[in-house]
Each structure stands twice: as C-alpha cells, then as structure tokens.
Structure 1
Amino acid sequence: MPTVSEAFNMADYAIGRHARAIPDKTALLVCDVENPREPLETWTFGELDRAVRNLAAGLAAKGLRRGDRIGIRLGNSSQSALMFFAAMAGGFIALPLSDQLTASELAALLDDSGAAALATADSPHSVARDGILTLSRDDVAAMIARDTDEPYAPTQRDDPAFLIYTSGTTARPKGVLHAHRSALGRQPMYQGWYGIRSDDRMLHAGAFNWTFTLGVGLTDPWANSATAIVCTGNKAPELWPNVIAETGATLFAAVPGIYRQILKYASPKPGALGQLRHGLMAGETPPPGLIEEWTSVTGLPLYEALGMSEISTYISTGPSVPHKAGTVGKAQAGRRVAILAVEGSDEPLPPNREGLIAVHRSDPGLMLGYWKRPDEEAEVLRGEWFTGGDLGSIDDEGYIAHLGRANELMNAGGYRVSPLEVEAALGRCPGVAEVACTEMRVRSDVSIIAAFVVAAEGAPRDASAIKDFANRNLAAYKIPREIVFVERLPRTPNGKVQRKALALPSLVDGKS
C-alpha cells in the first residue's frame, strides 16, 4: 500500500484550514428530530477549530501520547464529532465505538485495540477497565472549555488516524486502520457521487461509529466547506421528510432500508423534502425498483454507491453518471478498479466476466491494514490489487454490477448462489415487502437456501405463491426450500441487513 512521507493532518484539512479562511461560516448543526427547525447547537468552523485543538491539548495533558488509541462512545452528538477529529488533531488514533455494544463486546474491542482512553456517555464506573483512562461527557466539556493555543500535530500522510472495527470473515470483529491521507482518497466521490458544493447542507441518517457516517456525514462536507447536520432523538422513518425540509438539507445520505421505510411510512410528495437536491445511498444492495420508486414519488434523483470500510465508496452513480438498472455505477474518476478471478491470477478479467472487485493499491483512500491481523491482510492483497470480498462484473460501458459478498455465497447442491440474486428475484414477487436470503443448515450434512420475507401490508402470508413465483424466475438450484415469514429483517443500528442473524430462533415466527 502507498507509503508517502508528506506533512498532512486530517483534522486540519477538514476543519483547521477553513477556520483560518472562513471562521464564521456555519459548519455543524445539531438538531432534534422532533423539532428540527430550531437547532440545539450551531458551530462555526472557527468554533470547531478551537474546540478540537482544546480537546487534543486536554488529552495530551492527561498523559496520552501520539499513537494512543482513543475510544469514542458518545452517541450521535457534537462531542462525538469533536472527539473524533480532536484525536487526529493531537496525533492520536480515533477509535469510534457503537453505543449498542454490550459490556463484553466493548471490553473485547478495547482489549484488542489496546485503547489508552475511552470517552463515554455511560457511567464511567460501568465501563471502567484497568489501565484505560475513562472520560465522561463532563470531562470532555471541561477540556473543550479550557482555552489553549496548541497547533495541529505535525503528522504525515501515512500516519495512522483512525481505527474502525468491522465484521470480518471470522466471528471476531477486525480493526481497519486508516491513515490521515484517507481524507484525500475521498476526493473522487465529491463529483463522482455527490456533486457537492460549498453551500450544501449534508444530513446523514447513520451513527458515528461507521465510516459511511464519519466520512459522508462529517469529513466530506467539512472538506468542501459545507455544513454538516447531526440529528438526535428517536429517528422514526416517518419523521425524516420533515427533518430534511426543516433543516434545509440539500443532500441526504442513508442506507437503502431508510429510503424504503420513508416511502412506506411517510409517503412523501414532490416538494415535501424542501431544498433537497438528491439522495445518496450506500451500505447495502437496494431492493429492486427502489431507485425508480423514489424518483417517481419524490421527483428527485437517488444516487447509489458501493463501498467498504477499507476504502469507503469507490463505485457510484451521480449527477454525471446516470443510473443503469442492475448495476451500482462506474468507478469514480481517478480510481483504478478491475475484476479478478476469485482464485489465482492478479490479471484483470475482460468485460462481462464475473469475479472479485479489486481496487489498485495506489489508491490514497485504501486502509493502512488490518489491526494485528497480518494473515487476513495477506488474504486480500493480490499483486498490485486489493480485493475486499465483493463479487461483480464490469460491462462494456464501464458499469459495475455488484453480485454479493464472496463469504456470503450460499451452497445449494454444490452450486454457489449469491443471496443478492435470489433476493432481487423474490423482491419482485407480489405481496413481498422485503426479503433476505441465507444458507440454513437443516442437518449436519445438509444445507438449504432459506428466504426470510416481510409481507407487504395487507398481503397474505402465502409461501406457496412465493415458491411458484420463484419457480418461474429462478433456476431450480436457486429456489429457496424454506420461506420464513418475519415481522422485520434483523438490521444493524445503521440499517444494514444482518444475514448471519436471519436463522436465529427468536426471529422465526412461521415457515413452510
């Protein structure tokens, strides 16, 4: 992976340089979803800059040293955003952590990362760990209020900046370590996906422990001197149209499930979304027809992107790349993307051949590596390419189809089947609102494909009709042998479907 020695600090790039040029411009709005018209907090670039540098100085004053990991578990709050950038401003390594983690999960990540400190909204005593400095919200507020004049740490492009934990191919989450240069690696998406402008207001629906939110919701608007909007409160899907309109959001980012829920529960009409110019969607594969339905109902475009924790989004549609059914979009300008054979060669395949989607290792957005996982890191590197486990193909026009994750492929009678292919087919079946598929083991030596279905409102739970539809639209070996009706699909706090949780007994309430 690239190793360029050049002075660069990600926090100074996103905040500091704008504080010097346009200190009074609004950079951050914190709003409550129940009353979004009046912001709870308003921060200018100058105020962000002072707060971030004060926090960085406060961490150093408590004995923390450059390179120390700083755990951040402060929810969707201004403190969370400030601590993320303060860690990088001081030359520490930011470690965003979900507030949904159980005590044992939190302990495992703190131990694996070797965290030196944890800033938390929980009672400090409830999460205290030997050898880890625990900081409360009051501690963070006190450091922000203590004026200092410390500069940004003189970090280099390839110095570690933040560590994100993501689910790997094993049961143990793995840390993805990113460099300060990762902010520069995001530049191709600014026009390749967003069409972002300095007068934009970016509203993101996700949580701050996810690279999708930290990048799209904070880093990118600030890098373009635009305004970021943070929402607190219970984010019921029917509230989003009002939040978008009342905050003046011009760009809205979320996973596909959020857009589907907005259409289902809020039924927005053209003009109901205020100044919104278009929506941005990533995080998982959308159900068939979602983009067309959103555009038809709202009159606004919805641009899709494919990304991963190791590089963020790198393939997308956008104002200059029209949507093409069955594809995610094109490689963003300046990115080198290829399809490699699932096993073996590092030579790119010709168009219309299926294989692993690969990104060239020279991309500045690519991670430094996996935290303390050299074996897993070696598995994803092939010659000059990084392969993150996504399957796909590139057509003659450069559009890329996403065919699922290599480690999520189902085995049906010896055939390898992508869950996305089956879900796309069943998603068109009348009476099906949502569907997700996984491999289900029925005996120690037998696995079948199971489809977990959320029925459309008012539709009967008719497994036979779904199987008949599958028979007409799928090869015999791809047809689910079990149809399981559920009230809802299991999702992460950020809205992504958890296929590994599909077959849990607590989820199943009927099958055929």
Structure 2
Amino acid sequence: MSDDRQPPARFNAARYCLAGNARARPDKSALILAGEDGPRARLSFGEVDRAVRGIAAGLLGLGLAPGARVMIRMGNEADYVLVYFGALAAGLVALPASPQLTPAEAGFLMENSGAAIVVAGAGCPIDPAGLGGRILLGPAEIAAMKAGPPLAGYADTAADDPATLVYTSGTTSRPKGVLHAHRAIYGRRPMHAHWLGLRADDVMLHAGTMNWTYTLGVGLSDPWAVGAGTVLYDGPRDPAIWPRLIARYRATLFAAVPSLYRQILKYADLAAADLSSLRHGCTAGEALPVDLLEAWQAATGKPLYEALGMSEISTYVSSGPTIPVRPGSPGRPQPGRRVAILPVDGPPEPLPPGETGLLAIHRSEPGLMLGYWNRPEEEAAVMRGDWFVGGDLAALDPDGYLWFAGRNDDLMNAMGYRVSPNEVEGVLGAHPDVVEVGVAERAVRADVRVICGFVVLRAGAEPDADALLAWCRARLAAYKCPREIRFLAGLPRTPNGKVQRKRLDEAAGAA
C-alpha cells in the first residue's frame, strides 16, 4: 500500500504549485502585489507559470549545473516570487535572502553557500567588486528572461533533490544554512486542512516579507498548491492598512505574527472595516498570548488559529478548523505527523503524556530538512536516533495538546526570527569600548520580549547605549539588533567561566 504522506519519487516543487493551475485555471488571479492605494502587480496562474519557466530557461542558459545556488536579494516585489519559483523549476537551489542584511551579512551568505548567481532588486544594490566572479542579475536581465523562450517543462527532479537553502541563526556565531528538498512543499499538506483550512476559492493575505519562509510557504506555496490566490503587500508598514486590505481584496484568510495582530487592535479602526469576507486569521512565528487571542476574537468575531514550526520542519503543530483552540497551547500535532516528547538525557524513547522533555519529530516526516549546509556536526547534534530534536522543552497532555516549558538552549525569538546570541555578541564585542558582552531576551511586558545586550565596558569608557545600538544597526539586520543595552560591572558566569545568559537580566536589575 502506498503512503500518501510521501511525495512521488520524481517531484518538482514549482511544478506541484503551478503546472496544474496553469492548465485548469490559467486566467485566475494567482498573485496580487498590493500597494497602499491599489495593486502594483497582478498576475494570473498562466502568467506566473509562463514567467517562471522563462526565468528557469534563462538561468539554465547561463550554464548552471543542477543544484547550483541562486541567491535572491530583493525587496517585496513580484520578481522575488518569480525568481524563487524559477530556480526551483530549473532544478537549482533558491537562497532567499533578507533585504535588511548588511553588505557584510549578505557577503557571508554568498560565500558560505557558494552561490553561483546573485539576483538583486532595484532597492538592493550590490558592489560587483565583491562578487568574486559570480554572475549578477538585475531587473533588466530578469525582465529579458521572463520575455524569452520558456522552459518546455519543469525540471525532472527527485523528491529528495535540494530545492531551497534558508539561513537561520544557530548555536554558533554565524547563521547556518538549512537545506530543504523539493519534497518539503509536499510535506506541508497536513497544514492545509488542519491549520489554514485552505480551499481553492480562498484569497490569502499574508503580512510577511517575501524572503521569510512563513511567507514563501503560507503566503504562496500553500495557496497555490490548492489553486487559491494570494495577496502580498509592498507599502508603508502601517498596522491600520491590514483591515483595509482585507476589505479591498475580499481576503478570506489573513496570516501574520501575533505582535502584528496586537498592533492592528491598537492602531486600526476595526469597527469601520468590512471583515465579512474573512473566515479566520492564522498566526505563527511567536507564541500567541491568551489575552491577545481573546481580544482579537472579541473585536472581530473571527477565530485565530496558531501554529508551531521552525526553519528545519515548518509548521507541524497547530489549532485550526479540525483542531479546536485551547488557549495557551499552540495546538496538537497535525494528523499524520509523528511527534514525540523525548527525555533530555538517555535513550530516545518517547515519554508518556504529561511529562516534560524535548519536542521531537520523526525523520520520516517529508517536510524535514535534508540537513545543515556544510555543518555535519550540527546535524548530528539534532538527531536522536530516528528523531529530530529542535531544542524546545514541552509536554503533551492526555488530549494531545502541546504545552511549552521553554528552550533547552539560548536561541532568541525576535519577531518570529530565530536569532543566535553568539552572532549578536560577536558584533557588540568588536566595539572598542566593550570588554565583555552577553546577549539575551528581556521581558519588557508580560507578552513582549526584546533582544538586550549586557555590556562590560573597558576602564574609563563612558556608557553610551545609543552609540552601541548604532554600532549594531550598521552591522546587523534590523531584526537581529538589540533594542536595549544594559551596563554591568561583570557578567554572571558558571564555575567553569561560561556566561549564564539566563541570569543576565537578574544581574542588571541588581546592578
């Protein structure tokens, strides 16, 4: 008997999302790129399919070998989407990069990935001198590819062939690449019914930027996999815009991080907005506070469904149309997922309900990453027998709902992005006035945590928090930058000399 949880042996992620739609509904709206005052771009499935295959043919015409990395350095523009799927259609590996990255950060990704091509948008200038012989493509070259002869068919890739390389913060001072196969998009299928409630007649409005896996997955791949349309936004980040966009485009689903839902409640006039088209909201990237869940439902009368995921696996635990919301829990493992709680130490034998341990998912999961790019030691560290362990401490109750107990490491969560304290410490520690530094999350409200730098200055240096924050902003993407600096006489350490990050805030309060 075949396992319908697993994709066919020959499987291309772009073909899965686009080819059937181009045949069955070529004139249906696939993507609207909305501006503040109206659409900036509107593409049908037929147009997306044609443009994606044109870009695929253009990329292959440059002599790239299968699996070559294509780094995408663009803002929220339609070409970002087309280049991303074009790389997959060609059998290449798409590397979506944030436009917020500094030149040094972007350079690290380019070098570490061994990218063969860098595709740059108009708002992301790149110094050709720093390319190291790599091919640089700009808007004019992409436009020519879209207009050129298209690839006759999508690349005949295997389900396990590499498709996407996503960089995320790890336990070292540099981001690490998470390599996903084409099968990862097929592995998203349990989300469609059990979290998103996706249907072919849906219009998904997603609030994220295009480089984020939350946007590329929930905002694009998932709707397209069922024939639904997507609306993305490229305009001023005013929280009050989102109810207007829901009304203007008759969005049936809205996806964002919890902090944006809170901003909408605070700054938007929901009573004046026509939300009649909206069935429910979806949220991921951060834990959903109970008070926010209740406030949103009271203000809109619409359900809010949460999901838990990570770069290595995407979302696999959720509430949704088939999984009733239980406030304070992100939900239950989606049907078909093999999820367990393992002991922190000892053999990887699943624990019974109610016991706290490491949250794990079975290696048979089709959405699980292929591995970390050139980091075999970190791959080994996250595998416990047949289980992938991401570092979250949790318990499953007798009804299967997940309850968090914190993290087993020090990774921080900033606006849905995982950020390594080591990376931020490396930047702060390079400042000439800084002798020692520790970085950790700090609670500023009951449900809001920010990245904070705890700094020991050299003798005679003046404490200047603004100068240190500016130093970080010049060297780190905005989402990685500390929001606060606290000055200490010394950092709390273990007897072995290791900085105790969990005690940094306590030490600052006692200083």
Q: TM-score, normalised by structure 2?
A: 0.81
Judge which range, 212-221 or 270-279, deviates more. 270-279
Give the deviation of 1:435 after TM superposition.
3.2
* Distance in 2 (alpha carbons) for counterparts of 1:147 and 1:382: 48
Give the deviation of 1:267 after TM superposition.
4.0
Q: Which amino acid aligns with 1:436?
A: R
Listed as ranges, the matches of 1:144-293 within 5 Å are 144-269=146-271, 272-293=274-295
Give the secondary structure class of the aligned counterpart of 2:65: coil
Partner deviation per Cα, 1:204-226 (whole Å, 9 max, x = no partner): 11112211111000000000100
Give the deviation of 1:315 after TM superposition.
0.3
Listed as ranges, the matches of 1:84-483 within 5 Å are 84-121=84-121, 122-125=124-127, 128-269=130-271, 272-408=274-410, 427=446, 435-436=448-449
* Distance in 1 (alpha carbons) for counterparts of 2:450 and 2:130: 40
* Distance in 2 (alpha carbons) for counterparts of 1:409 and 1:153: 37
* Distance in 2 (alpha carbons) for counterparts of 1:191 and 1:503: 41
Give the secondary structure class of the aligned counterpart of 1:197: coil
* Distance in 2 (alpha carbons) for counterparts of 1:26 and 1:120: 26
Give the deviation of 1:124 after TM superposition.
4.4
Q: Which amino acid aligns with 1:112?
A: N
Give the secondary structure class of the aligned counterpart of 2:358: strand
Partner deviation per Cα, 1:237-267 (whole Å, 9 max, x = no partner): 1211111211211111111111010011114
Listed as ranges, the matches of 1:58-69 within 5 Å are 58-69=58-69
Partner deviation per Cα, 1:416-453 (whole Å, 9 max, x = no partner): xxx99x969x62xxxxxx53277986889xxxxxxxxx
**Partner in structure 2 of residue 53 of structure 1:** 53
Q: Which amino acid aligns with 1:16?
A: A
CA shift in 2, pair 1:270/1:56, >3 Å: same
Matched, 1:29 2:32: yes
Q: Indicate if the aligned counterparts of 1:327 and 1:401 stay in contact, CA closer than 8 A.
A: yes
Partner deviation per Cα, 1:144-185 (whole Å, 9 max, x = no partner): 011334321110000000100001112210000000000110
Matched, 1:504 2:506: no
**Partner in structure 2 of residue 472 of structure 1:** none
Matched, 1:14 2:17: yes
**Aligned-pair RMSD on alpha carbons?**
2.9
* Distance in 2 (alpha carbons) for counterparts of 1:59 and 1:98: 21
Judge which range, 56-65 or 151-160, deviates more. 56-65
Q: Which runs of 5+ in 2 are unaligned?
A: 413-439, 458-468, 488-504
* Distance in 1 (alpha carbons) for counterparts of 2:456 and 2:127: 46
Q: Which amino acid aligns with 1:435?
A: V
**Partner in structure 1 of residue 433 of structure 2:** none
Off by >4 Å, runs of 4+ in structure 1:
2-5, 437-444, 493-496
* Distance in 2 (alpha carbons) for counterparts of 1:437 and 1:396: 34
Partner deviation per Cα, 1:469-504 (whole Å, 9 max, x = no partner): xxxxxxxxxxxxxxxxx9xxx9xx9997x6x83553
* Distance in 1 (alpha carbons) for counterparts of 2:129 and 2:245: 34
Q: Which amino acid aligns with 1:331?
A: P
Q: Indicate if the aligned counterparts of 1:255 and 1:495 stay in contact, CA closer than 8 A.
A: no
Q: Which amino acid aligns with 1:8?
A: F
* Distance in 2 (alpha carbons) for counterparts of 1:147 and 1:89: 14
Give the deviation of 1:136 after TM superposition.
0.5
* Distance in 2 (alpha carbons) for counterparts of 1:226 and 1:69: 29
Give the deviation of 1:40 after TM superposition.
2.1
Give me the identity figure in percent: 49
CA shift in 2, pair 1:108/1:440, >3 Å: closer
Q: TM-score, normalised by structure 1?
A: 0.81
Q: Which amino acid aligns with 2:449?
A: A
* Distance in 2 (alpha carbons) for counterparts of 1:367 and 1:212: 15
Matched, 1:81 2:76: no
Q: Which amino acid aligns with 2:345?
A: E
Q: Indicate if the aligned counterparts of 2:34 and 2:231 stay in contact, CA closer than 8 A.
A: yes
Q: Which amino acid aligns with 1:360?
A: H
Give the secondary structure class of the aligned counterpart of 1:228: strand
Q: Which amino acid aligns with 1:176?
A: V
Partner deviation per Cα, 1:73-101 (whole Å, 9 max, x = no partner): 12111100000000010010000000000
* Distance in 1 (alpha carbons) for counterparts of 2:6 and 2:380: 17
* Distance in 1 (alpha carbons) for counterparts of 2:187 and 2:340: 18
* Distance in 1 (alpha carbons) for counterparts of 2:256 and 2:43: 23
CA shift in 2, pair 1:440/1:105, >3 Å: closer
Q: Indicate if the aligned counterparts of 1:206 and 1:494 stay in contact, CA closer than 8 A.
A: no
Q: Indicate if the aligned counterparts of 2:452 and 2:486 stay in contact, CA closer than 8 A.
A: no
* Distance in 1 (alpha carbons) for counterparts of 2:103 and 2:373: 21
Q: Which runs of 5+ in 1 are unaligned?
A: 411-418, 428-433, 445-485
Partner deviation per Cα, 1:94-143 (whole Å, 9 max, x = no partner): 00000000000000010000000000013343674112100001111111
Q: Indicate if the aligned counterparts of 1:255 and 1:494 stay in contact, CA closer than 8 A.
A: no
Q: Which amino acid aligns with 2:31?
A: L
* Distance in 2 (alpha carbons) for counterparts of 1:440 and 1:25: 49
* Distance in 2 (alpha carbons) for counterparts of 1:220 and 1:197: 10
